[in-house]
């Protein structure tokens, strides 16, 4: 599959950037003319990954989030990366309702949302080094 367009940005791990990140990805994906439902799924998944980097990766302290988008003729790949605390057990982290921050009223549903709203979800993480989320979505034609 040949990429037709690509972009990469980095931004501070501030909660105001959650909206910024999902709007940027939606604007970039708009050139493929996706349906509103596909766009909503994409925005929600981006919001989940960026929020996780802020709350868990950097534990609400200052850090940098790296986001890359690659467009193909009919799909998008989004890569969201932090250099925060990392995930000890990825399989466990993906379990619905599993959270390490119940005191912050997290529900442990973020990865489940990404899995069901995107077509593929891949997690790379190393304790103490950081986390990289790679997800793709195919756009349906209406």
Partner 1 sequence: MTLDITIKQENQVLTVYLKGELDHHAVSKIKDTIDLNILKAPVKKLVLDMSGVTFMDSSGIGLIVGRFNRIRSFGGSMTIKNPSQTLLKILKMSGIDQLMKIN
Ligand X SMILES: Nc1ncnc2c1ncn2[C@@H]1O[C@H](COP(=O)(O)OP(=O)(O)OP(=O)(O)O)[C@@H](O)[C@H]1O
Catalytic residues: 48, 52, 106
Q: Which does 131 bind (CB under 5 to 8 A by kind): partner 1, ligand X, Mg ion, none?
A: ligand X
Q: Which does 57 bind (CB under 5 to 8 A by kind): partner 1, Mg ion, ligand X, none?
A: ligand X
Kindly state whether residue 57 participates in binding ligand X, applying the rule CB under 6 A.
Answer: yes
Minimum CB distance to partner 1 smaller for 44 or for 75: 44
The residues near 52 (Cβ < 8 Å, ≥ 6 apart) are: 110, 131, 133
Q: Among residue numbers 18 through 37, which ones bind partner 1 (CB under 8 A)?
A: 18-19, 22, 37
Choosing from 25, 29, 43, 93, the residue that interacts with partner 1 (CB under 8 A) is 43
Which residue minimizes CB distance to ligand X? 110
Q: Measured between alpha carbons, how far is 63 from 96 in angstroms, rounded to an integer?
A: 27
Q: Measured between alpha carbons, how far is 69 from 71 in angstroms, rounded to an integer?
A: 7
Strands (E) located in 4-129? 5-12, 64-71, 75-82, 120-126
CB 82 within 8 Å of CB 20? no
Q: Which two tokens stand for residue 53?
A: 């980097």
Minimum CB distance to ligand X smaller for 75 or for 124: 124
Other Cβ atoms within 10 Å of 36 Cβ, number: 8
Choosing from 57, 63, 84, 110, the residue that interacts with Mg ion (CB under 5 A) is 110
- Residue ranges in contact with partner 1 by CB under 8 A: 15-16, 18-19, 22, 37, 40, 43-44, 47-48, 51, 54-55, 104-107, 109-110, 112-113, 116
């Amino acid at each position: 599959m040949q990429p037709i367009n690509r972009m990469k940005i980095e931004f501070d791990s501030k909660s105001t950037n959650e909206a910024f990140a999902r709007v940027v990805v939606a604007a970039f994906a708009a050139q493929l003319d996706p349906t509103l439902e596909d766009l909503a799924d994409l925005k929600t998944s981006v919001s989940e990954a960026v929020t996780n980097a802020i709350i868990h990766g950097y534990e609400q302290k200052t850090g940098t989030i790296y986001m890359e988008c690659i467009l193909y003729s009919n799909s998008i790949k989004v890569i969201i990366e932090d250099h925060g605390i990392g995930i000890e057990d990825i399989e466990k982290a993906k379990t619905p309702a599993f959270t390490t921050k119940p005191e912050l009223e997290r529900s442990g549903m973020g990865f489940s949302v990404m899995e069901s709203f995107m077509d593929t979800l891949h997690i790379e993480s190393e304790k103490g080094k950081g986390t990289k989320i790679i997800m793709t979505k195919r756009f349906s034609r209406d």
